Each structure stands twice: as structure tokens, then as C-alpha cells.
Amino acid sequence: MEQKPIIYFLCTGNSCRSQMAEGFGKRILGDRFDVYSAGIEAHGIHPMAVRVMAEVGTDISMQTSDVIDPDLLQRAACVITLCGHANERCPVTPPGVKRLHWDLEDPAKAEGSEEERLAVFRKVRDEIRRRIEALAADGPDRFGSFPSER
């Protein structure tokens, strides 16, 4: 059985943005790609990320917060960083690995009431979903070097 190409979402703490991206990636792209997420550090999954993803029917409560796995990084077809810190600190990706950067606001740093903080999580969640849906619509050619889907 041919292995699916890997999409690897990276962020600083693997607690919010990359977790949401992994959840949507598995739901939207999982038939064509193996989807993972990691961070420069592992901070645990933020409860508000779990909550806002559940609101749109995606359960990320069983995902794990992980640090970057050098083997996965080497085997990835595409690495997508979701914050400037991860983009700057991510280990060098090998030739042939497509690297994209989505500079997204960190919802974990949102301030205010619970509802105000949830609004920031929802905004970031919806932007991540929009970008992943755009990747799905573009197909694997968006990354240039993905193997055939068949």
C-alpha cells in the first residue's frame, strides 16, 4: 500500500493553531494526506481550541501536543508554519519539501472576557479552515511535488 504524502503543521507550542489545523487537515484532506502537527515546544492542547473545534463538528480532544519530530519533518511533502516564531525557529526542511507560512494571530494570547477570547479562537479557527479548504480545492499540484493520488 502506497503511503500518503505528509502535511506537517507547525507552531510554537502545538496548543491552538497547529492543533486546529491538524483537526481540519485530517477532516478535509485526510483521504489524500497524512496530517500531523507539532511545536517548537509542547504546551498541551488549549481547552478553548477543543471547544471551538467541537462547535464546528471536529473533535480534537484526543490529539496530542508534540514537539517537532525530525523524521516526520524529513518525510513531509509540505510543512506549514502557523506563526512567525515557528517559521523562524523551525529546523531546516530538506530540499523537495514544500514550505508554506501562514502568519496567524495567537488565540492563546487573547485577552478580555471568556466570550471575547472565544471570539478570537473562532476567528483564527475559521481562517485556518478557509486556508485548508483552499488547499483541498487546489489539489496536490498546489505543492508541486506530491505523488499521484492514485
Residue 148: predicted pLDDT: 32
Pick the catalytic residue from 11, 76, 79, 97. 11
pLDDT category, 2, cuts 50, 70, 90?
confident
Instruction: Note the pTM of the prediction, 2 decimals.
Output: 0.89
29 near 136, Cβ under 8 Å? yes
**Mean pLDDT value of segment 20-31:** 96
Decide if 14 contacts 41 (C-beta within 8 A): yes
Domain-located, residue 150 = no
Number of domains in the chain: 1
Q: Which amino acid is at 94?
A: P
CATH of the domain at 40: 3.40.50.2300
C-alpha angle 44/50/110, rounded to 5°?
A: 75
Q: Is 78 a catalytic residue?
A: no
pLDDT band at 139 (very low <50, low <70, confident <90, very high): low
Identity of the residue numbered 19: Q
Is residue 57 one of the residues assigned to a domain?
A: yes
Q: Is residue 148 part of a domain?
A: no
Q: How many angstroms separate the CA atoms of 47 and 113, rounded? A: 15
Asked if the structure places residue 117 within a domain, the reply is yes
Which of 80, 83, 86, 135 is the catalytic position?
Answer: 83
Query: Is 16 marked active-site?
Result: no
Catalytic residue among 90, 104, 124, 128: 90
- Is 145 a domain residue? no
Predicted confidence at residue 137, as pLDDT, reads: 87
Contact 77, 32 (CB under 8 A): no
Cα 122 to Cα 44, 70, 114, 145, distances in angstroms: 19, 31, 12, 32
Domain enclosing residue 13, as ranges = 6-140
Cβ atoms of residues 18 and 43 within 8 Å: no
pLDDT per position as a tens digit, 26-67: 999 999 999 999 998 999 999 999 999 999 999 999 999 999
Report pLDDT digits (tens) over 81-111: 998 777 777 777 778 889 898 999 999 999 9
Predicted confidence (pLDDT) at residue 146 exceeds the cutoff of 50: no
Whether residue 146 lies inside any domain: the answer is: no
Asked if the structure places residue 147 within a domain, the reply is no
- pLDDT above 50 (res 144): no
